[in-house]
Structure 1
């Protein structure tokens, strides 16, 4: 009888905690929804990690343009890994940074710097820029 009580407690805990003991549990769509909402709600959205030199480089581009991006530092969030997984589903890349302008995916650090240097980024943002400086 005692084993049955113990088993019942374990089952209840598993159900309450949503734990998965060997079985695959689908991740909630909340991370994907968060990414989509963030991208659609901000002119400039960057998914970043605070310690990443490529992320710093991409963020520096917007500082140079006097633009304030909305930055999601994945390493500073409990759900950062889930958000990063959602990025691969949405844009095919899990690496950071991932930069979005006006709801559209621009790309990573190199893509952002290239767009800055060739004037495409300023055009996307509707601003004037020289884009001549090396970052």
Structure 2
């Protein structure tokens, strides 16, 4: 199963929606990182993703983007192969 890392905020509806899709796909182990609580982690997220908003989702180290990007990837049929890797 793929390793999922998500920069996350508990109160973010987009974070929850992205997490919900992954859980629906059978992913139960999501490493959540909380950049709002840690300035160094926020810098890391921006360096890795080029973006300043959460969620930022990585599958096996590959940046797939935020919630809308994850949903679009799923609609195109590209999410399942990444998760199965």
TM > 0.5 fold call: yes
- For structure 2, list consecutive stretches of 5 or more residues without a partner in the other structure: none
Give a deviation string over 1:68-112, Cα, whole Å, max 9, x none.
22222334x4x2x32112211222111100000011101001001
In the TM superposition, structure 1's runs of 4+ consecutive aligned residues that sit over 6 Å from their partners are: none
Instruction: Determine if the alignment matches structure 1 residue 104 to structure 2 residue 62.
Output: yes
Q: TM-score, normalised by structure 2?
A: 0.85
Give the deviation of 1:124 after TM superposition.
0.8
Q: Return the index of the structure with the highest Cα Rg.
A: 1
Aligned to 2:41: 83
- For structure 1, list consecutive stretches of 5 or more residues without a partner in the other structure: 1-41, 128-135
Give the deviation of 1:117 after TM superposition.
2.0
Residue of structure 1 aligned with 2:4, choices 25, 39, 44? 44
Name the one with the larger strand percent.
2
